[in-house]
């Protein structure tokens, strides 16, 4: 039988068509529509009557860049990403090392226990954490009082609200990355450690020269996914503080949600979404670049 490359390609298209069509209709089309929306002032007036819609070019983007609220939200989001991201990765790695250590008993139990917060509903978690954070009756302040620390108004004090949210988010999410790290750790051949031990390397040097370099790809994946996820932080402040106190926990996605679905400024909200997209893209490219420059 004669081999026809174009036949193969056309039948591949035929098989791919349903999936591609779905992606086009439910993914690319809405993105394109949102991009168009971001150049209009689509609001409830326009929703009622399209004659009241204006194409306003880049005005939404300009207005966004001039809005102190957007910069506040961006600052808060960066705070969350820069403090929460590395913290989350470090905690996950620490937990993975502990769970994976040969001396640990019942690793399966700890793996499940640490993973539990990931699969728990955020709203339920938030209710419990709000009790933990309660300035007067909360467990956290009680423990601090035993150490002689004055009570902290975790969710009400503008300076403490973001750390409180980060703490909860890290606790809620570290289990997921931990599992990925454990998988990465188990892929490292044990001979390497044995060889290192024979050469007289201690625990720290084994970690530094074997574990860390060989976890490189896992690290990159975890760091990227965490960064992307943390840039999109929404549910934690939405349930815990609604962006307060004094907008100190307002994130970019929360701002987008408020503008879009609370005030129905779809044009402006779409512009927020695209600015966030650009930021995440830039962050991802930057991380990939940094990785490539590192000597392997």
Partner 1 sequence: MSRLSLLLFVTLWLIGCGSAVDRPVVVEFWAMGQEGEQVKALLPGFERRYPDIRVRVQQIPWSAAHEKLLTAYAGDAMPDLFQLGNTWIPEFVALRAVAPLDERLKTWPDAALADYFPGILATNRLDNQTWALPWYVDTRLFFYRTDLLAEVGFNEPPATWDDWLQAMARLKTLSGAERYAILLPINEWQLPVILALQHGADLLRDRNQYGHFQDPRFREAFTFYLSLFDEGLAPPVSHSQMTNIYQEFANGAFAVYVSGPWNIGEFGRRLPVAMQGKWITAALPGASLAGGASLALSRTSPRQEAAWKLLEYLAQPEQQARFYQLTGDLPARQSAWSAPVLASNRYAQAFRQQLQQVQPTPPIPEWERIANRIAYYAELAVRQEMSVDEALTALDRDVDQILEKRRWLLEQGLTP
And the tokens for 268? 């402006």
Tell me which of 264, 274, 277, 284 binds partner 1, using CB under 8 A: 264
Partnered with residue 55 across adjacent β-strands are: 40
> Which residues touch 105 (CB under 8 Å, ≥6 apart)?
none
Is 135 a residue that touches partner 1 (CB under 8 A)? yes
Nearest residue to 110 via CA among 92, 122, 98: 98
**Binding segment toward partner 1, per CB under 8 A, in 14-22, 75-83, 127-135, 207-215:** 127-135
- Please check whether residue 99 is in contact with residue 182, taking contact to mean a CB–CB distance below 8 angstroms: yes
Helix (H) or strand (E) holding 111: helix 107-119
Is 244 a residue that touches partner 1 (CB under 8 A)? yes
Tell me which of 64, 85, 96, 134 binds partner 1, using CB under 8 A: 134
Is 51 a residue that touches partner 1 (CB under 8 A)? yes
Tell me which of 96, 155, 169, 253 binds partner 1, using CB under 8 A: 155
Of 211 and 270, the one with the shorter C-beta distance to partner 1 is 270
- How many Cβ atoms from other residues are within 10 Å of residue 249's Cβ? 27
- Please check whether residue 248 is in contact with residue 161, taking contact to mean a CB–CB distance below 8 angstroms: yes
Least distance from partner 1 to the Cβ atom of residue 143, Å? 18
Is 24 a residue that touches partner 1 (CB under 8 A)? no
How many Cα atoms within 13 Å fall on the side-chain side of residue 252?
26
Of 193 and 264, the one with the shorter C-beta distance to partner 1 is 264
Is 236 a residue that touches partner 1 (CB under 8 A)? no
Tell me which of 47, 113, 123, 278 binds partner 1, using CB under 8 A: 47
* 177-to-171, 208, 211, 291 alpha-carbon distances in Å: 11, 20, 16, 19
3-state secondary structure of 38: coil
Least distance from partner 1 to the Cβ atom of residue 275, Å? 18
Is 263 a residue that touches partner 1 (CB under 8 A)? yes
Cα torsion at 260, 266, 271, 275 (round to 10°)?
Answer: 30
Tell me which of 16, 44, 123, 281 binds partner 1, using CB under 8 A: 44
Residues that bind partner 1 (CB under 8 A): 41, 43-45, 47-49, 51-52, 54, 63, 130, 134-135, 137, 153, 155-156, 158, 241-242, 244-247, 261-264
């Amino acid at each position: 039988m004669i081999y026809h490359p174009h036949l193969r390609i056309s039948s591949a298209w035929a098989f791919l068509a349903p999936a591609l069509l779905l992606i086009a209709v439910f993914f690319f089309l809405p993105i394109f529509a949102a991009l168009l929306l971001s150049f209009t002032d689509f609001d409830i007036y326009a929703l009622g009557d399209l004659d009241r819609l204006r194409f306003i070019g880049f005005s939404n983007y300009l207005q966004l860049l001039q809005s102190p609220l957007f910069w506040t939200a961006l600052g808060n989001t960066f705070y969350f990403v820069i403090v929460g991201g590395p913290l989350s990765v470090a905690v996950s790695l620490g937990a993975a090392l502990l769970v994976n250590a040969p001396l640990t008993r019942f690793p399966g139990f700890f793996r499940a226990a640490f993973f539990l917060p990931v699969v728990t509903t955020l709203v339920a978690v938030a209710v419990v954490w709000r009790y933990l954070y309660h300035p007067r009756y909360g467990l956290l302040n009680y423990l601090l009082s035993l150490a002689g620390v004055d009570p902290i108004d975790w969710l009400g004090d503008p300076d403490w609200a973001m750390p409180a949210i980060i703490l909860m988010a890290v606790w809620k999410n570290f289990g997921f990355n931990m599992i990925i790290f454990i998988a990465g750790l188990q892929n490292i051949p044990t001979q390497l450690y044995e060889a290192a031990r024979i050469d007289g390397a201690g625990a720290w040097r084994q970690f530094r020269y074997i574990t860390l370099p060989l976890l490189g790809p896992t690290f990159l994946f975890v760091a990227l996914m965490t960064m992307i996820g943390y840039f999109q932080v929404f549910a934690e402040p939405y349930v815990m503080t609604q962006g307060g106190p004094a907008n100190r926990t307002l994130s970019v996605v929360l701002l987008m949600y408020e503008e879009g679905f609370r005030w129905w400024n779809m044009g402006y909200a779409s512009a927020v979404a695209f600015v966030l997209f650009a930021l995440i893209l830039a962050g991802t490219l930057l991380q990939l670049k940094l990785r490539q420059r590192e000597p392997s």
